[in-house]
Amino acid sequence: MAANLLNARDMALHACLCAASRPLSAYDLLDARRAAEPRIAPTAIYRSLTKLEKAGLVQRVATLNAWIARPPKLPAEPSVLAICDSCGAVEQVAEAGVIQAVTDAVTRSGFHPNRPVIEVHGHCPRCESETDPTRSAPR
């Protein structure tokens, strides 16, 4: 889906996700849009998120049931998501080789994947250095 087929609501939701410091659920987005659209329904949010995902502008964080904006420099292929369990930060890591290796492995077993998702939970460098003073965050 081309980005030019997105409407004002879609773009407003994308702007909310771009400005967010953490993944946002559909209900977080619903709350953010209430002032501009008092009668907006959850189904409208989900429809917009589906369109934004098809356009490659957002990615769902399945284990958090939330969404993040995709950086423009990131390829359209799926990315590995590194999720900090302390601060909630999500980093999108473009590792096509990892995604392809997992897809190939399950295909060899007879499974037919249609949407590979790899999410890794742990601690970001900042939170790790705060919990373990002997380690320092990379610069």
Secondary structure class of 53 (helix, strand, coil): helix
The tens digit of pLDDT for each residue in 21-41 reads 899 999 999 999 999 999 999
The values of phi and psi at residue 61, to 5°, are -105, 95
CA dist 33 and 39 (Å) reads 10
Q: Which residues contribute to the annotated binding site for Zn(2+)?
A: 84, 87, 124, 127
Domains assigned to the chain: 1-70 (1.10.10.10), 71-139 (3.30.1490.190)
Question: What's the predicted TM-score (pTM) here?
Answer: 0.80
Report the C-alpha gap between 77 and 94 in whole angstroms.
8
Residues of the chain with pLDDT under 50: 137, 139
Q: Rounded CA gap, 116 and 113, in Å? A: 7
CB 20 within 8 A of CB 52: no
Binding-site residue positions: 84, 87, 124, 127
- Residue-level pLDDT at 2: 55
The residue behind tokens 């953490």 is 22
Q: Which two tokens stand for residue 106?
A: 């399950």
